[in-house]
Structure 1
């Protein structure tokens, strides 16, 4: 009911409405698009979220592209150039005006400098949230602004965002210890992005504290293993896994060669962290919300 509720709150003084369309099954975005009739349709990513319900990444792509299939023919599609599955699927649903954006190419191409400066068309934009994944989302927003002829210049001064607890939160503790709190939720793509951000965060040791990603269905073990492989690829210093679901153990097997410890309850994990954390450590906490890693973060803060 979120989309209808948002639309019903619009008043005559509003010039634009930004409406997020979520889905967990086929047909849901189609229905929401029929209701909203958007003039611009932005698709930021196609990944593995809800793959347990939809069955495959291709099915997820098709479900997201219902936005393109159902929006008016004179609308503008804005697509993430760096996601090839999205581009291939979108081409089957949409032949209208299209703008692509990306860090690897596209009509609107940006360059990420460090982790928090995005350079586009000779202008630099401080990112409100660091990381490549956030830079791509920012590029998508810039593309929307360009279509609407909204001046980018004020954005070069930076902007701030307010996020719920456990989402893109950074805590700096005594003794030069930094916690990256991503305990609000987790999917494969967001997990990989968060690990990349951890590795790029200046510090002495980089420690990943991870747990289960829910709703991955038959693909769960494979995708958890992929997360472990990313830990190994990045050469992190230590991996701690809260195994509240058997599939989570695949993170550890994927990270073979990286010092790894597994835990079956929150208190054991808290006690171990309190014992090993030292000055200069950078710690990432990430799992699906129901895993409860936020409780562990709360014990350390």
Structure 2
């Protein structure tokens, strides 16, 4: 990326130092520990730190200019020629700068939100659209009020499609992000239980996710999970429904899954294959197919993109384990909805005589967390053979299954990862498949790594 320093001058109250109108900014950064070239430093004020304290370090790392909150003292001995651009709020200025740069580059913008599957959907869309367009996508989980502007400001000047993930914890946050991004295509992957503690109910979650239409361009489209009743809309927004129910515009038929490949048919016309596990990833792929069709791609090109798709780590990530076992590392995050979907996937895969679940605590589920954990047990049945749980909340899943364990599944609960791993390792062989899933805070990838070959 690069833009003229004049854009920075336009959003500032006043400036000092020497700078040429031809000066180019090639990186925007907030972390003074990062080495950059021709960087604009944006000192963010947080609860426990103030980025203004690190200007001198940022200069050593490659900053050639800095935003500066008016009223803050500059460091003693700062070169008087160093360009400083004063603003009322560096965070607000970062957002303004992102919006200006986005309009300057002018790509098609795809905004992606949802309780689960945002990152996977973003990755699949990028794989499909990068067959034809120069794309740029959110890196990692840079999907909040700071991460989204930084993602935009890292966009190459020749970007044709920007795929921006939008996360949230409360009402108003998606609306804010959508108004910065002004998407041409807005996608809501699903409505789950994540953040129900803050939003009160699934209906509240749906309301918060639907804020993505607040910045949607007048001629834009909304692509949604058409199987979710809470996403029914009234109004003039062009909506594309994806899912399994009959009314969907992109209806999924004839799903066939193995441990290596998934096939499905859209609208009884076109068959697609996917080297990703999980019924939920079929729907995530359908959002990408719908976006691709909207942007003019044909089915053959879309399939090439699906063939080349690689998801961000720890999302139904298949890895070979010890003694030839198959490990499904889905430890990045979890909700009851996504946990149940992952379990159903393990049940549907052929070729395994031991199907082992390693499930842990799920967070931010509010007052119903006990019932929501117990609800996971309703989908744990044959051909599942073993359930291992970790954590106090994970144990609730085991307790619920013990009450109706008609399939005689072996159930055990642990308080430490080390003890669980010790009991699990002897079960691993080439007929075993292990699913590992919990909320991010459980860090169950440490179990997964101990099972790898």
Which residue is 1:130 aligned to? 277
For structure 1, the 5+ residue unaligned runs are: none
2:238 aligned residue (67, 76, 97): 97
The residue that corresponds to 2:398 in the other structure is 252
Secondary structure in 1 matching 2:271: strand
Matched, 1:274 2:420: no
User: 2:414, 2:184 → 1: CA distance?
Assistant: 49
C-alpha distance 206-220 of structure 1, shift in aligned 2 (>3 A): same
Higher helix residue share: 1
1:207 is aligned to 356
Correspondence for 1:114: 256
Which residue does 1:7 correspond to in 2? 152
The structure whose RCO (Cα within 8 Å, separation 6+) is larger is: 1
Shift of 1:43: 1.0
Q: Distance in 2 between matches of 1:164 and 1:143?
A: 21
* 1:63 CA displacement: 0.1
Larger Rg: 2
CA distance in 1 between counterparts of 2:307 and 2:418 reads 38
User: Which residue of structure 1 aligns with residue 365 of structure 2?
Assistant: 216
Q: Please identify, of 278-287 and 138-147, the stretch whose mean Cα deviation from structure 2 is larger.
A: 278-287
Tell me how far apart the structure 2 counterparts of residues 173 and 37 of structure 1 sit (CA, whole Å): 44
Task: Indicate how the Cα distance of structure 1 residues 173 and 55 shifts in structure 2: closer, same or farther if over 3 A, else same.
Answer: same
Contact 1:103 1:112 in 2 (8 A): no
TM-score w.r.t. length of structure 2? 0.61
TM score, norm. by length of structure 1: 0.91
Aligned to 2:442: 291
Cα distance change on mapping 1:5 and 1:112 into 2, 3 Å:
farther
- 1:53-64 mapped onto 2 (5 Å cutoff): 53-64=198-209
- 2:386 maps to what in 1? 238
Which sections of structure 2, spanning at least 5 residues, go unmatched? 1-145
Q: When the two structures are aligned, how many residues end up with a matched partner? A: 294
Cα pair 1:175 1:280 within 8 Å, conserved: no
**Ranges of 4+ aligned residues in structure 1 off by more than 4 Å:** none
Work out whether 1:149 is the aligned partner of 2:296.
yes
| Secondary structure at the counterpart of residue 154 of structure 1 | helix
Quote the offset at 1:174 in angstroms.
Answer: 4.9
Q: 1:276 to 1:142 in 2, by over 3 A?
A: closer
